[in-house]
Amino acid sequence: MSYLTGLTVIAVGDQQVVFEGQVTGDTVNLGAYANQITIGIPYQTVIQPMNPVIGNQQATSKGKKQKFHRANFSLYESVGGQYGTDWNHLYDMSYGQNSEGNPVELFTGNILRDIDGGWADEDTILIVHSDPYPFTLRSIEPRLNVAEGG
């Protein structure tokens, strides 16, 4: 562990966070027994897809005021994460998580969430994940309102 000396790490043992702190030498005292342990440097994943353009042969959403009001997130073996329209309006995905002390359950499926987007030329969706668990976002199906007057 000497290559991690001075760095902040997170250790996950048997699907629970068992250590979060700075490495001060060649060893880390986890304080608990675990069969499988993964130790790594924490990082944050930020996903912000491009603004969709919807339309048909007669019209398009490009150049018109629009806002996201709901989105369907398709996830594979995931835990944690947040969603919203910007950094000031992020909400927990809140799915498949147990009470403290129980192993984390990985979630696979779709979750439909309301989004408090505002009317703008191009509204956005932001997905942020910084938990020390898997997170695979397969797709986002946004529900978009478009103002006809532009």
pLDDT tens per residue, range 56-87: 666 666 777 878 888 999 999 998 899 998 89
**Is the model's pTM score more than 0.85?**
no
Q: Mean per-residue pLDDT for 127-141?
A: 92
Q: What pLDDT does residue 149 have? A: 64
Question: What is the structure's pLDDT at 139?
Answer: 94
Contact between 126 and 71 (Cβ < 8 Å)? no
Order of strands across the sheet with 16-22?
16-22, 8-13, 37-40
Q: What is the mean pLDDT of residues 109-127?
A: 85
Q: 97 falls in which pLDDT band (50, 70, 90)?
A: very low
Domain boundaries, the chain: 2-40, 45-146
